[in-house]
Amino acid sequence: MTDIYLIETMGMNEYQMRMEAAQLMQLDKRALNAELAWQRQVVQSTRGEKHPRPVFDSYDKFFGNDYKQAENRIKRTFNTGEYVVQKSKEDAILERQQRLNEIRGKEELNG
């Protein structure tokens, strides 16, 4: 993100969503790199001379639960249960104006 105005006007909720997204993207890159390393290891690293087989027989044994644990840690950090999206000033003003019009309409009916 390079637009200074957008950065300065960003609310805390939006900032947290963007930070979570950035960290999850980094985690996906790590998982991709680990998968590529595992595939390479499967081809190159074997044990047993007569009947060679891979040192790690599954991706999970190679990468472990690291991905899931890291993902859960990121989500706990940002408490992704629910985000409250902040309204723009124009939306907030419009909503207040509508409520005021409703109140005035009720007052006119009541006399």
Please write the tens of the pLDDT for every residue from 44-97. Answer: 776 777 777 766 667 677 666 777 788 888 878 777 555 555 567 777 778 888
Q: Which residue has the higher pLDDT, 37 or 65?
A: 37
Contacts of 9 (CB under 8 A, 6+ apart): none
**What per-residue confidence (pLDDT) applies to 81?**
56
Q: Which residue has the higher pLDDT, 23 or 96?
A: 23
Domain boundaries, given as residue ranges, for the chain: 3-83
